Amino acid sequence: MNPYILSILLFGLGLGTMTTFASSHWLLAWMGLEINTLAIIPLMAQHHHPRAVEAATKYFLTQAAAAAMLLFASTTNAWLTGQWDIQQMTHPLPITMITLALALKVGLAPLHAWLPEVLQGLDLSTGLILSTWQKLAPFSLLLQMQTSNPTMLILLGLTSTLVGGWGGLNQTQLRKILAYSSIAHLGWMILVMQFSPSLSLLALMTYFIMTFSAFLVFKLNKATNINSLASSWAKMPVITSLTPLILLSLGGLPPLTGFLPKWLILQELAKQALPLTATLAALTALLSLYFYLRLCYAMTLTMSPNNLVGTAPWRLPSFQLTLPLATTTTMTILLLPLAPAATTLMTI
Amino acid sequence: MSLQKMTRLRPVRLLSSIHQQPLLLPSTTALSVPRRSVIQGEYRRPGQPRENKLPWQKINFDFSKGLQGIKKHFALLKKEFFDRWVGPQGKPILEHMLEQNRVIWEFRGPECLEQWTLSSDREIGGQSEIYLKLGKNTNTCFLYGTLSSVPPRDGETRYSGYCTMRSKQPLAAFDRKEHYDWTSFNTLHLRVRGDGRPWMINLAAETYFSHQKDDIYSYFLYTRGGPYWQDVKIPFSKFFLTHRGRIQDDQHPVWLDKVNTIGFTLGDKADGPFQLEIDFIGVCKDYAHTEEFAYEVYKRNPEV
């Protein structure tokens, strides 16, 4: 892509998210979300492959519908309560509608159906932007809003963890697996949002780091399905030995970083007298863990039948920067001992 | 008919008469004008069967068939539900990883012929014929017929003469579309025995927009006549994009994660009988084939 256009689009993405972060008026927040949507559409469709165009169209339709619902809900709130402030919403109907609109924006179940298909049609770098950066702006709005319907948030959260786990079981395409993992993690974040918004922010940040490293590993391997990932042991053995740690961190196993948000969320849910919710969430996390383990198994614990073991396959050197991968992999694996510091910093 | 006459009719006929009533001119009677002629358009394309039935006469209600259908669909749904526990696409992960060859279609019995749809230019009024039957040892399928490039005389078709066999779209429970996932493979492998005619293999992938409906990825299959079987291996990177038979400028490799149908078309302008015998159609992974796409990707707006 023309570097000027690429930089305009990336700046547009940054501008949209920053606009939403800085807004206290619903219209400005909506504007930031729309800028985000419009800036990423050309990035998605840049390859002009029919599947990329299909993904861009589906993304645009869902995000535009969510933004329209958001606009409608904020207008309704202004009509009912007379004010546009994000943090001062009191009427339950607009709050519910806005929560559902933002759930559609980020891809929470039961409004998740677009996410696997859209991610599947994109290349890995655009998919990374979609999974990470595009979640920030709606999340900031969700964090600022008052909850009027605690049951709905818990239901959204549990459904997301369940759907994220169950849906990922059948997949062999890596991008769809990452989509379902995104749905599951977002479910965990929503579960605890009404009790401790800082915890959900922590969960979001750790999810970002883990997803970043996962996407970058897949990009380095140029792998889009499990079988092509399985031949990475011959090409890059060190990364192949570290990737199971990244995947298990995504699955939430101690002593890796991914355990931190899950542990604190379960603790918070237990403190809020929701032991059944906590149990259900932990059990559904097992489903996600199963497909992460399957990826680990395919990648490291089996030797895939490729006949090019002895001779190194002819490949051009990769021009991908390895510093982001190195940083995020280290953070994915080693951040759990910082748990006390993380808990003291959570003062929101 | 006047109002008095209409009220003396029995209810069923009353409905028919209302159906025809606004269509008929006063001078013509009900029998000389075919029914529904105005609603469906006056012109019937030659080759289309004459449909003289009224809508309610086409209902074919069968209770036992309905029950069978319900059982079949619920069985498929249950299978889909429990397949997830076995592994992706119902197979254990090791099997999925170790798979290097997979036979997708083979013709071992009459029920395999149900998976294929035949068509020829008879549908637009031409004179080609195509038939499918099981081969002599019931191990193969035998596609035969006659190609005739005489165009139909409807005033608008200039060329004609094609015969094709296309696989039916695989369906999951409740007739949802299912796709073939061939991402672990990179070559199409067929065993055919032809009569020397050049066929075209058409792969149709899943599309989204309605104007992509006829997007088909094609490649040639040159058969050598003779009693010996021919093993044909075509890498998927060789398939080029066509739309309604015309090769597109904007080429891209076929994405194998959602393949719908495969088809064989004969349109080589040579009138006469043809035969093609297919043993099996499968996909395989050729590790030595590293080509991603065989054709140059057309660069639009090149920097001058």
Scored b (16 or more CB within 10 A) or e, A169-201 reads bbbbbbbbbbbbbbbbbbbbbbbbbbbbbbbbb
Interface test with A, best of B257, B259, B300 (most A CBs within 10 A): B257
From A148, A182, A198, give the residue that closes a domain: A148
Of the listed ranges A240-244, A318-322, B2-6, B135-139, the least confidently predicted one is B2-6
Of the listed ranges A167-181, A218-232, A304-318, the least confidently predicted one is A304-318
- The stretch A94-105 carries a mean pLDDT of 95
Report pLDDT for B302.
72
Contacts of B100 in chain A (CB under 8 A): 305
Query: How does residue B64 score in pLDDT terms, banded at 50, 70 and 90?
Result: very high
Query: How does residue B31 score in pLDDT terms, banded at 50, 70 and 90?
Result: very low
Q: Is the pLDDT of residue A307 over 60?
A: no
- Across the interface, which of B85, B87, B94 has its CB nearest the CB of A302? B94
A178 plus A262 within the same structural domain: yes
A160 plus A136 within the same structural domain: no
- Contact (CB<8Å) B181/A172: yes
Closest approach of A253 to chain B, Cα-based (Å): 22
Query: How does residue A315 score in pLDDT terms, banded at 50, 70 and 90?
Result: low
From A148, A165, A188, give the residue that closes a domain: A148
More confident call, B125 vs B298: B125
What's the ipTM? 0.87
- Across the interface, which of B89, B98, B255 has its CB nearest the CB of A170? B89
pTM: 0.88
A272 plus A180 within the same structural domain: yes
A21 plus A165 within the same structural domain: no
A70 plus A142 within the same structural domain: yes
A317 within domain boundaries: no
Residues of A with CB under 8 A from a CB of B: 48-51, 53-54, 57-58, 120, 166, 169-173, 224-227, 230, 294, 297-298, 302, 304-308
- Mean pLDDT over each residue of chain A, to the nearest integer: 91
Beta strands in chain B (DSSP E): 101-106, 116-120, 129-134, 141-147, 163-167, 187-194, 198-205, 215-222, 230-235, 240-243, 246-247, 259-266, 272-284
Query: How does residue A273 score in pLDDT terms, banded at 50, 70 and 90?
Result: very high
A312 within domain boundaries: no
User: Distance between CA A104 and CA A118 in Å, rounded?
Assistant: 13
A120 plus A204 within the same structural domain: no
Q: Is the pLDDT of residue A210 over 80?
A: yes
- Across the interface, which of A50, A120, A302 has its CB nearest the CB of B207? A50
Q: Is the pLDDT of residue B39 over 60?
A: no
A50 within domain boundaries: yes
Q: Is the pLDDT of residue A260 over 80?
A: yes
State pLDDT tens for residues A155-176.
Answer: 999 999 999 999 998 899 999 9
Nearest CA in chain A to B215: A50
- The stretch A207-234 carries a mean pLDDT of 89
Interface test with A, best of B77, B80, B91, B93 (most A CBs within 10 A): B93
User: Distance between CA A88 and CA A79 in Å, rounded?
Assistant: 14
Position of tokens 């792969």? B203
Contacts of B257 in chain A (CB under 8 A): 120, 173, 225
- Contact (CB<8Å) B88/A305: no
A219 plus A182 within the same structural domain: yes
A223 within domain boundaries: yes
A52 within domain boundaries: yes
Q: Is the pLDDT of residue B38 over 70?
A: no
- The stretch A87-105 carries a mean pLDDT of 93
Q: Is the pLDDT of residue A281 over 60?
A: yes
What single-letter amino acid sits at A29? A
A144 plus A124 within the same structural domain: yes
3-state helix/strand/coil string of A258-280:
CHHHHHHHHHHHHHCCCHHHHHH
Of the listed ranges A14-18, A84-88, A235-239, B79-83, the least confidently predicted one is A235-239
Q: Which of A37, A291, A72 is nearest to A178 (CA)?
A: A291
Report pLDDT for A348.
54
User: Distance between CA A133 and CA A250 in Å, rounded?
Assistant: 18
- The stretch A246-262 carries a mean pLDDT of 94
A130 plus A172 within the same structural domain: no
State pLDDT tens for residues B218-273.
Answer: 999 999 988 999 999 999 999 999 999 899 988 999 999 999 999 999 999 999 99
A130 plus A249 within the same structural domain: no
Report pLDDT for B32.
47
User: How many domains does chain A fold into?
Assistant: 2
What is the total residue count of chain A?
A: 348
A221 plus A250 within the same structural domain: yes
State pLDDT tens for residues B170-197.
Answer: 999 999 999 999 998 999 999 999 999 9
Report pLDDT for A184.
96
Whole domain around residue A245: which residue ranges? 154-306+322-347
Distances (CA, A) of B103 to B100, B182, B280, B281, B283: 10, 11, 7, 6, 6
More confident call, A221 vs A54: A54
Highest mean predicted confidence (pLDDT) among A270-274, B9-13, B56-60: A270-274
Query: How does residue B6 score in pLDDT terms, banded at 50, 70 and 90?
Result: very low
- Contact (CB<8Å) B212/A166: no
From A148, A176, A197, give the residue that closes a domain: A148
A92 within domain boundaries: yes
A108 plus A195 within the same structural domain: no
